[in-house]
Amino acid sequence: MKVGIISFAHMHAYSYATCLKQLDNVELVAVADDNPLRVTEAAKQFGCAYYSDYRELLATDVDAVVVCTENAKHADVVVDAAKAGKHVLCEKPIATTLDDAHRMIDACREHGVILQIAFPVRFNTPMRRVKQMIDEGQLGRIVAMRGTNRGQNPGGWFVQKELSGGGAVLDHTVHVIDIMRWYLNSEVKEVYAEVDTRFSDIACDDCGLLMLEFENGVIASHDPSWSRSETFPTWGDVTLEIVGTQGVTRVDAFAQHLTVYSDLDNKVKHDFWGDEMDLGLVADFISCVREGRTPSITGEDGLRALQVALAAYESARLRKPVRL
């Protein structure tokens, strides 16, 4: 199978490219990016052709593309890929507006191509174990959840709202909301949020706290803040606490690490040794394309997560709960 990557604007593109190179009978044949330095360096690193215009890549015989542009550019690129008959793995969030998300989903459906959204946390082994526990009823009836996806401020286009669509709340809410929806098989019906900028001198939000109510009655909270300093041992976290009538469990997606005190880097850092969830995501996408099956994480999943993040902004603006 021939695969291309469109843009290395998002840092996850480098991980996805590395994963593609590890898979049997998969070839990363080309990359495209409108940043000349970025595209030439990526092509050299991964040993493939490159294009300055992604439309030239779409005109080749690639079977699928991975889209890692700035968030605001997702919609146009994915729609063009669908029209070219290419299956798509799109970086999260699916888009920056609900209209764009619907446009992407409709285009992929119309042209018969797969649209999968990059929520790799679903492929993290500890997270999957908790999903199994919930499905088997080991925790009883779930009554509440608490989630965090705290991280460092990534800077660059992530803090330029015209390209990112929002700050920390959009960037980090979608991951944990997707996991909560997956665990509960239920949708968020109401959001109350506080959103602010307190850790950095930037023009978008860098912190927030969301309170959620699901259709099945579960209540939940989520902290998506960019609250980690540059000297913090790791970029951030993904954690969940699940409260059930028969027990409580806590899960940390990145607890599988060593703490390294490095004289070479002159800092303390976490060296992760656990399973590679990005590889699970990419392998699943390739499998979906080969088998022609519905993706494990659909465009609709991306849309639902985006709805919650945008509702959080609306709630903070109105200073009251917002019903979806």
267-276 pLDDT, tens digit each: 899 999 988 9
The domain spans of the chain are 2-113, 121-277+306-323
Using the predicted structure, report yes or no on whether residue 266 has a pLDDT greater than 90.
Answer: no
Residue 120 has pLDDT above 90, yes or no: yes
Going by DSSP bridges, is the β-strand pair 142-148/239-244 parallel, antiparallel, or unpaired? antiparallel
CATH class of 2-113: alpha beta
Looking at residue 216, its pLDDT comes to: 97
pLDDT value, residue 265:
85
Region 104-124: mean pLDDT is: 98
Q: Could you read off the pLDDT of 131-159 as tens digits, one per residue? A: 999 999 999 999 999 999 999 999 999 99
What is the per-residue pLDDT for 230? 87
pLDDT band at 107 (very low <50, low <70, confident <90, very high): very high
Amino acid letter, residue 92: K
Instruction: Answer whether CATH 3.40.5.90 is correct for domain 121-277+306-323.
Output: no
Rounded to 5°, the CA angle 6-282-110 comes to 65
> What confidence tens digit (pLDDT) does each residue in 279-314 have?
999 999 999 999 999 999 999 999 999 999 999 999
Q: Residues 156-215: pLDDT tens digits?
A: 999 999 999 999 999 999 999 999 999 999 999 999 999 999 999 999 999 999 999 999
Q: What does the pLDDT average to over 24-50?
A: 97
pTM: 0.96
pLDDT at 275: 84
pLDDT per residue as tens digits for the range 205-256? 999 999 999 999 999 999 999 999 988 999 889 999 999 999 999 999 999 9
Give 44's pLDDT tier (boundaries 50, 70, 90).
very high
